[in-house]
């Protein structure tokens, strides 16, 4: 029971930060600086927003920038608020533009910048409490302690964040495996990519990169590559209709369902091994069920034709999945290639043009912070900094995310203030208020990654209790906090809705172009390999990864677009495009094992297919960019040649490859028909 609580990702996260906070407060109490220590720990929201307590690539550099940025911006803003308040609005307008534009450097840089902006607001709020040098030093010491304690925690717990992320990935894979028989039975295989799995894999890749050279961390690297191979095998469905016919019948379905459950149980076991700090154990528990499944497939294998090819593929795929989960290692060893990043300054300059959403978002944030600062200065109480803090915390990358965060922020704040008012009315004050706040800390921290609304309830109550301990909590402050939060939420919602809104429809055209380029490159490497050219395994893996990640991005953008105002007219085409894209990639994934086995097509076939798909890729990419290219009449003869070769060929491995490529061609034709119509627009 205790082990299960310890490895729970939410509770472990809470244990880590709660113990760090308690030790910091204990040290402050020993030095007779407890009130200053409580104020210094206001860095916690900025720490969570910036994410500098979580391992990442170049973590030491991010820690240094975080400590200097958090303390520096808090100190500078506190000085301006005390000694030059007339420049506060201009200062926040400048900070809003500069720090928001840091998103040009990537997601981690954007989070670090938003954390620094949060600290600037905290500096404004606390500038009059203590000498500015004490505040700056206290904030710097607090964030340094929290980050260093987290680093020690991870070292002692065996890279717990990566292990937890890998465990979540395996649990998601197990859930997908369990659902597969029913999906085939109902002819309802998902037509879109599974976003949670994509997010888990991206987190694992980022955390693995934080360990230095990822290729030197054998067990964890193997666990990650195994998950990547499992995702590829699950997505590789050669023909959904025939797969349902082969697997969903009285002879094969019971054995297939038992096999999927055995694989899912094995994936859960690997997840538990990783969570508990060990290496994934080897096991042959799936072998018996695989043998029974393959035995049930024998009548379908004997039929020949396309059904026989699909049945043969399913049998081989089952053996590959069995091998993956049995050995707890990837199908083939390959290094994780560390990508070379572009010059940060060059990336920033490229995005500082009005047509780029980063530029418009930076200007939007600058205006909102300036407006929030001015509104705060007109409020009857000197608590306008809560408007600014709400603007910073509610700010997200899309209107849908902002709308959700604003509702959660407003509701959570009101609920937290009501609870705080009840506690203060009941006489909770002084050291008892501080103790109550400390008790609530682990509960609130456990909810941070679960739900922003519930987290806001806890954080608001803790903040009011901390204010009470410092003699700052009054009914007027509570009322002001409520109204300031509502004003901040309305500012962000209105700003994103009416100030140069960046709707997801505006991203669809470019995402379609990028996705097709990635998919065509993946297919090109496959065809080159079948034609006899040497294609490195790492290059093929990177191409598959790029196509998959572009599909996830297209999928995520589409899901957000569906919830935005006025985009219902684009849903049908976008849904069809996503289904065709994923289907084409599934067929490509299905023939990847033949590449690793060294299969080669006949010289004439390989050369003709390379020419056919190269020309087709160029036509589709040009059409996606708005340069409409109709389906050439000359393609009809070449398609006819292709289908004749398929019909006259054998049902061996080469025949299966041609069969899958013919399905890719059909899906490409359908994608081209969609591309002939205009892509969704930004407004």
| Higher-scoring residue by pLDDT: 336, 663 | 663
For residue 232, the model assigns a pLDDT of: 87
Last residue of a domain, one of 458, 487, 516: 487
Q: What's the CA dihedral at 664, 668, 670, 673 to 10 degrees?
A: -170
Please state, in angstroms and rounded to a whole number, the distance separating the CA atoms of residues 651 and 658.
10
Mean confidence (pLDDT) of the chain: 84
Hunting for tokens 């085939």 — which residue is that?
A: 184
Burial class for 84, CB neighbours closer than 10 Å (0-12, 13-18, 19+): exposed
What is the torsional sign of CA 146, 147, 148, 152? Answer: positive
Quote the tokens at residue 79. Answer: 């000085």
What pLDDT digit, counting tens, does each position of 210-230 carry? 776 555 567 888 888 889 888
What pLDDT shows up at residue 437?
A: 83
Task: Write out pLDDT tens, residues 160-207.
Answer: 888 888 999 999 999 999 998 888 888 777 878 888 888 888 888 888
Q: What is the mean pLDDT of residues 7-26?
A: 86
Residue 440 lies in a domain: yes
Residues 479 and 546 in one domain: no
Q: Residue 551: inside a domain, yes or no? A: yes
HEC string of 67-101? HHHHHHHHHHHHHHHHHCHHHHHHHHHHHHHHHHH
Q: CA 167 to CA 268: how far, in whole Å?
A: 8
Is 15 part of any domain? no
What is the DSSP secondary-structure string of 331-346? SS--PPPPPPPPPHHH
Which residues span the domain enclosing 451?
360-377+398-487
pLDDT of 454 reads 85
pLDDT computed for residue 3 by the predictor: 66
> Which pLDDT value is given to residue 6?
67
My answer on whether 407 and 315 are in the same domain is no
- 302, 450: one domain: no
**Which pLDDT value is given to residue 170?**
93
Q: What is the mean pLDDT of residues 127-154?
A: 91
Confidence grade of residue 674 (pLDDT, cut at 50, 70, 90): confident
Q: Is the pTM of this model over 0.85?
A: no
Rounded to 10 deg, the angle between the 107-126 and 88-100 helix axes is 160
* CA distance to 379, 419, 426, 437, 445, per residue, from 423 (Å): 26, 6, 5, 11, 20
Residue 346 in domain: no
Rounded Cα–Cα distance for residues 256 and 241 (Å): 16
Torsion from C-alpha of 536, 537, 541, 546, nearest 10 degrees? 0
Q: Are residues 481 and 544 in the same domain?
A: no
User: Tell me, what's the pLDDT at 343?
Assistant: 72
Is residue 127 one of the residues assigned to a domain?
A: no
Helices (H) and strands (E) in the chain, counts: 28, 0
Which pair of tokens denotes residue 369? 């912070």
Chain centroid to CA 275: 20
Res 523: pLDDT: 92
pLDDT tens figures, 448-473: 877 888 888 888 888 888 778 777 66
Are 376 and 387 in contact, with CB atoms under 8 Å apart?
A: yes
28 contacts 37 by C-beta, under 8 angstroms: yes
Which CATH number fits the domain that encloses residue 605? 1.20.58
One domain for residues 555 and 650? yes
pLDDT score for 341 = 59
Share of the chain above pLDDT 70, in %: 92
pLDDT of amino acid 505: 66
What's the token pair of residue 220? 């964890």
Asked if residue 197 is part of any domain, the answer here is yes
In which element (H, E) is residue 542 found? helix 537-561
Counted domains in the chain: 3
Same-domain status, 449 and 407: yes
- DSSP H/E element including 525: helix 505-530
- Same domain, yes or no, for 405 and 545? no
Asked if residue 653 has pLDDT above 90, the reply is no
Query: Are 552 and 656 in the same domain?
Result: yes
Confidence (pLDDT) at 460 = 86
Is 88 a domain residue? no
Domain check: are 410 and 535 in the same one?
Answer: no
Q: Report which of 44, 124, 143 is spatially closest to residue 458, judged by C-alpha positions.
A: 44
Please write the tens of the pLDDT for every residue from 516-565: 999 999 999 999 998 888 888 888 888 998 899 888 888 888 877 777 76
> Same domain for 482 and 517?
no
Tens digits of per-residue pLDDT, 229-238? 888 888 888 8
Q: Tell me if 120 is assigned to some domain.
A: no
Give the 3-state secondary structure of residue 60. helix
Residues 275 and 409 in one domain: no
Residue 276, Cβ neighbours under 10 Å: how many?
Answer: 14
Assess whether 648 and 550 both reside in one domain: yes
């Amino acid at each position: 029971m205790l082990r299960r609580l310890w490895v729970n990702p939410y509770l472990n996260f809470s244990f880590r930060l709660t113990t760090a906070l308690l030790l910091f407060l204990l040290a402050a109490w020993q030095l007779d600086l407890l009130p200053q220590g409580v104020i210094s720990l206001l860095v916690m929201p900025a720490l969570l927003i910036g994410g500098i307590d979580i391992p990442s690539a170049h973590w030491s550099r991010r820690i240094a920038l975080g400590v200097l940025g958090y303390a520096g911006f808090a100190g500078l803003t506190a000085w301006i608020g005390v000694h030059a308040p007339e420049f506060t609005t201009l200062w926040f307008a400048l900070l809003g533009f500069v720090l928001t534009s840091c998103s040009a450097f990537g997601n981690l840089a954007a989070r670090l910048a938003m954390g620094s902006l949060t600290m600037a607001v905290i500096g404004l709020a606390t500038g009059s409490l203590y000498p500015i040098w004490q505040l700056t030093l206290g904030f710097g010491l607090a964030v340094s302690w929290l980050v260093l304690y987290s680093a020690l925690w991870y070292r002692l717990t065996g890279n717990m964040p990566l292990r937890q992320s890998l465990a979540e990935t395996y649990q998601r894979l197990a859930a997908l495996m369990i659902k597969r028989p029913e999906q085939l039975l109902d002819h309802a295989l998902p037509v879109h990519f599974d976003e949670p799995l994509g997010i888990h894999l991206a987190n694992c890749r980022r955390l693995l990169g934080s360990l230095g050279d990822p290729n030197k961390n054998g067990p964890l690297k193997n666990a990650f590559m195994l998950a990547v191979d499992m995702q590829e095998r699950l997505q590789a469905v050669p023909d959904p209709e025939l797969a349902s016919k082969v697997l969903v019948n009285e002879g094969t379905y019971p054995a297939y369902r038992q096999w999927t459950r055995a694989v899912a149980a094995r994936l859960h076991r690997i997840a538990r091994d990783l969570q508990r700090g060990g290496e994934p154990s080897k096991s042959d528990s799936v072998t018996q069920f695989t043998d029974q499944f393959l035995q049930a497939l024998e009548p379908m294998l004997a039929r020949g034709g396309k059904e026989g090819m699909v049945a043969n593929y399913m049998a081989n795929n089952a053996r590959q999945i069995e091998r993956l989960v049995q050995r707890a290692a990837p199908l083939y060893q390959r290094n994780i290639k560390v990508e070379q990043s572009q010059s940060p300054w060059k990336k920033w300059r490229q995005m500082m043009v009005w047509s780029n959403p980063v530029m418009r978002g930076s200007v939007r944030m600058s205006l909102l912070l300036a407006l929030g600062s001015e509104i705060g200065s007109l409020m009857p109480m000197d608590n306008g900094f809560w408007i600014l803090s709400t603007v910073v915390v509610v700010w997200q990358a899309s209107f849908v995310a902002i709308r959700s965060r604003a509702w959660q922020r407003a509701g959570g704040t009101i609920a937290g203030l009501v609870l705080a008012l009840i506690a203060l009315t009941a006489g909770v004050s002084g050291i008892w208020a501080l103790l109550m706040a400390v008790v609530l800390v682990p509960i609130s921290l456990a909810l941070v990654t679960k739900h922003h609304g519930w987290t806001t309830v806890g954080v608001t109550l803790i903040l009011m209790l901390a204010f009470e301990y410092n003699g700052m909590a009054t009914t007027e402050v509570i009322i002001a906090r409520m109204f300031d939060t509502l004003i901040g939420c309305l500012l962000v919602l209105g700003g994103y809705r009416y100030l140069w809104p960046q709707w997801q429809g505006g991203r669809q055209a470019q995402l379609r172009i990028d996705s097709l380029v990635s998919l065509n490159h993946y297919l090109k490497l496959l065809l080159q390999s079948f034609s006899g050219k040497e294609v490195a395994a790492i290059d093929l893996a990177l191409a598959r990864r790029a196509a998959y990640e572009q599909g996830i991005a297209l999928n995520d953008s589409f899901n957000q677009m569906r919830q935005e105002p006025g985009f219902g007219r684009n849903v049908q085409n976008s849904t069809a495009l996503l289904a065709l894209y994923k289907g084409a990639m599934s067929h490509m994934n299905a023939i990847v094992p033949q590449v690793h086995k060294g299969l080669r097509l006949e010289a004439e076939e390989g050369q003709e297919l390379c020419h056919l798909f190269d020309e087709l890729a160029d036509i589709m990419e040009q059409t996606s960019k708005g340069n409409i290219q109709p389906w050439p009449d000359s393609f009809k003869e070449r398609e006819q040649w292709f289908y004749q070769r398929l019909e006259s060929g054998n049902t061996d491995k080469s025949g299966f490859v041609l069969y899958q490529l013919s399905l890719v061609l059909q899906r490409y034709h359908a994608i081209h028909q969609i591309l002939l119509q205009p892509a969704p627009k930004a407004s």
